[in-house]
Amino acid sequence: MTTNSAPLNVLFLCTHNSARSILAEALLNDMGHGRFKAYSAGSSPRENQRPNPLGLEVLQRAGIPIDGLRSKSWDEFAGPDAPQMDLVITVCDNAKGEMCPIWPGHPATAHWGYADPSEGDAPPEAKLEAFRQTMHQMRRRLELLASLPANKLHHAVLQSTARELSAH
């Protein structure tokens, strides 16, 4: 984080950018109190990919704004006109193993793996509960990130700070 209190730009990555990365983006933007600006993207979103409706429902039920959430490719964040990221976090194991673009500014990186709540053939009620559980797991970790003092978010220590939070 810079001394002029500019928000820390955080990009959450998943393969399709429809569930976990969308949840993380919405949660951090809601709880970041202006200290963070969260984004999300996917390594290979499907054509016409949209955020999972169950994820959006869970966010709405929790009082988290969903305006502007959309599925998008990580290519949007690799170009010269993209906002420069301070931290890039993969939230699914598939995205962790993929070859990421070279991010402008060489942001810190971390992997915070979560099971895919949209996976499988469970009935809608069970999937909704899986989304709710995933959102609560993310919220706990993001609360830790959001409550860190500025010196733990400084570029020089952000890499180790973000990776330490993966154990929570």
In tens, the pLDDT along 96-135 reads 556 667 777 789 999 999 999 998 899 999 999 999 999 9
Query: What does the pLDDT read at residue 85?
Result: 93
Beta strands in 16-59 (DSSP E): 36-42
Q: What is the mean pLDDT of residues 37-65?
A: 94
Range of the domain at 95: 8-159
Contact 23, 55 (CB under 8 A): yes
- pLDDT surpassing 50 at residue 92: yes
Give the 3-state secondary structure of residue 9: strand
Domain contains 155:
yes
Q: Compute the C-alpha angle 15/137/108, nearest 5°.
A: 55
pLDDT in the model for residue 105 = 79
pLDDT beyond 60 at 167: yes
Residue 3 maps to a domain: no
| Residue 2 pLDDT grade (very low, low, confident, very high; cuts 50, 70, 90) | very low
Q: Mean of the per-residue pLDDT values for the chain?
A: 89
- Residue 136 included in any domain: yes
The domain tally of the chain equals 1
Check residue 3 and give its pLDDT. 45
Give Cα separations from 83 to 8, 18, 24, 153, 166 (angstroms).
11, 21, 18, 18, 24
Residue 100 has what pLDDT?
66
Q: Is 33 a residue whose pLDDT tops 90?
A: no
Question: Helix 20-31 vs helix 53-61: angle between axes, to the nearest 10 degrees?
Answer: 20
* 56 φ, ψ (degrees, to nearest 5): -65, -40
Tokens of 124: 């809608």
Partners of 38 in the β-ladder: 10
For position 37, which CATH number holds?
3.40.50.2300
- Inter-CA distances, 22 with 1, 13, 26, 75, 146, Å: 23, 9, 6, 16, 17
- Let me know if residue 2 belongs to a domain: no
Six token digits for residue 104:
């402008």
Residue 156 pLDDT more than 90? no
The answer to whether the CB of 97 falls within 8 A of the CB of 71 is: no
Kindly report the pTM of this predicted structure: 0.90
State the pLDDT confidence band at 1, using cuts at 50, 70 and 90: very low
Minimum mean pLDDT range among 43-52, 67-76, 124-133: 43-52
